[in-house]
Structure 1
């Protein structure tokens, strides 16, 4: 058996900015970028169409939003500013560590997370001292968001197992529950808390 865990909302609770455009604006200003006066409108507007299920990387969105107002920034500056804006304290959920540890005793374990900010999942895992994991698969890196089949398939591939043997643990019936609809299996923590996941992993009954 191979397991993957959703990160945000499942293993950790994250403190996210209530007005993300302000958080990004502050990070851009710290880098000497002149933020437009109508930045909120620019940030909240669409600047590119994406195929259904595709991830829209936030640094690209920020760069295009600035460009729409005549401000040019490099991809690296946009990426670093976005990461700083969203890299906030996290709280590890009760029994998260026990569930990951028990899962590792049964087989390979991954994180499979929707996240539009490159590097944020990895930095969050470092903050939370969770792991180690055999693979970390994010939507911003693989290009597809849960519940699309491709991100679950990428997770199974990263663990070296068939998709049909992957069990995905998460908190969202629409996104994480999508594993059931693509040939894997989902376990939702509203129905099966992390403590129960840990126990059933130890028993080999998950």
Structure 2
């Protein structure tokens, strides 16, 4: 068995109420001249990916700026985005215990459809779920797979195939724990199983 936890099953984290404004503020901090119609530029589609494919959020920001003739040197789009989405996360009740219990049965992964670089790992760190307890910074998860890292968004089956590959297991070994029932078809498409974290507390989930 290999258990895959969705980020949202383990942590709660608030994102900016107005992402465009938050990103604009961070861009200005980095010397980028934000266009007057930035909100409109940010809302436009600048990359049209295949169904289920992930567009890195910083690429979208850079394309939005470029559409208005604004350069973003020195990786400013990525740095501004990471700063704007700095997570203030809290672990859900029983989250750590559930992951440790899952680890007794095999490898454990974290899956997030975030397209913001570093977001998932920073959210885990903020929530106290980045490292195994009583260790010298040994990761709690054997793999952290995100939309921005694998190029696919859950519930697309390719996202779960990427998790299986990262863990070195077959898709049939995956048990996915998530609060979003729409993830069920994705993991079942690769032969895995789904556990609805809304239907029970994390402390009540049994892994076999």
TM-score range, shorter chain: over 0.9
Shift, 1:177, TM fit: 5.0
Q: Is 1:178 the counterpart of 2:161 in the alignment?
A: no
1:144-183 correspondence runs (5 A):
144-175=152-183, 177-183=185-191
Shift, 1:75, TM fit: 6.9
Contact kept in structure 2, 1:66 and 1:72, CA below 8 Å? yes
Q: What's the secondary structure of 1:175's corresponding residue? A: helix
- Where does the alignment leave 5 or more consecutive residues of structure 1 unmatched? none
Q: Is 1:83 the counterpart of 2:82 in the alignment?
A: yes
Distance 1:75 1:136 in 2: 27
Shift, 1:157, TM fit: 1.3
Q: What's the secondary structure of 1:112's corresponding residue? A: strand
Contact kept in structure 1, 2:174 and 2:193, CA below 8 Å? yes
Q: What's the counterpart of residue 129 of structure 1? A: 128
Change in Cα spacing, 1:21 to 1:110, as seen in structure 2 (3 Å) is same
Distance 1:192 1:159 in 2: 26
Aligned residue pairs, count: 199
Contact kept in structure 2, 1:170 and 1:187, CA below 8 Å? yes
Q: What's the counterpart of residue 112 of structure 1? A: 111
- Where does the alignment leave 5 or more consecutive residues of structure 2 unmatched? 132-139
Regions of 4+ moved over 6 Å: none
Shift, 1:180, TM fit: 2.0
Q: What's the secondary structure of 1:10's corresponding residue? A: helix
Change in Cα spacing, 1:167 to 1:47, as seen in structure 2 (3 Å) is same
CA-atom RMSD in angstroms: 1.3
Distance 2:184 2:87 in 1: 23
Q: What's the secondary structure of 2:35's corresponding residue? A: coil
Q: What's the counterpart of residue 67 of structure 1? A: 66
